Amino acid sequence: MICILRAPGTNCDIETKFCVETFGIEAKIVHVNRFIEGKEKLNDYLGLIIPGGFSYGDRIRSGAILAKILTEKLKKDIKDFIKDEKPILGICNGFQVLVEAGMLPFSRKLAVSLALAENDSAKFEDRWVYLKNVNRGKCIYTKGIDVAFIPVAHKEGKIILPIGEEEKFLKKLIEEDQIVFRYAKNDGKPADGEYPYNPNGSFYDIAGICNEDGTIFGLMPHPERAFLGIHYPDWRLKSREWGDGYVIFKNMIDYIKKKGF
């Protein structure tokens, strides 16, 4: 069973549950308080998804409060989950939570090392974007994907690397094969920061990253909103049963089945 974590303000949990259960594996939406109260145990689950929304109203910073709860109240459980190499997927607000909790990009340290800041446009960006998969194989979620077309819906999605050490930090992420998706133009070439191809001004056009083991993946675009062919704006013109988001969820489920937790 896969846990879909929710908190006050989460609003993409039901859609995410639908995606997971399409593959014949059960998913359960669990409020974070159930874990804190001891009524649920994280390690009873095979995988964890932190879906999109506005957890705790995105007070302070997007994802900051839920991240603090996870690292303060469930730190041991989170560490065990990561150690067991169980998959963790963070979508939009979930990505923000993973970054704020230090689970990305370096989950072995559980220390915050980068940030997701307000979009350069200073407004909520709700649009379809192209993503180029630049991962060389570490990330378990994106195997078989070259260029994906998936929508974003966020106001704080701009990745900022440590000030003054951007190039050094970027080099490490590239060398360790931890950059997964980059915003791109429709031909797959880099967006080079050009708006609206890069919708938020994210450094190096980064849209998604994974941890050192490739088992934790965070991305700003919403794969659950590009899961079915009819989700696409051109669905009347192009016949497709599944969207690019389908592949991300399928890879996650395939990994779980292969590992046999």
For this structure, is 154 an active site residue? no
**Among residues 15, 19, 154, 222, which one is catalytic?**
222
Place of tokens 């639908």: 18
Total Cβ atoms within 10 A of residue 123? 9
Number of H helices, E strands in the chain: 7, 11
Alpha helix positions (H), the chain: 13-21, 32-36, 64-73, 75-83, 93-100, 166-175, 244-259
Q: Which of 23, 243, 240 is nearest to 148 (CA)?
A: 243
Question: How does strand 2-6 pair with strand 158-160?
Answer: unpaired
Instruction: Out of 12, 92, 139, 210, pick the active-site residue.
Output: 92
Among the options 12, 156, 224, 231, which is catalytic?
224
31 is catalytic: no
**224 in active site:** yes
Give catalytic residues, as residue numbers. 92, 222, 224
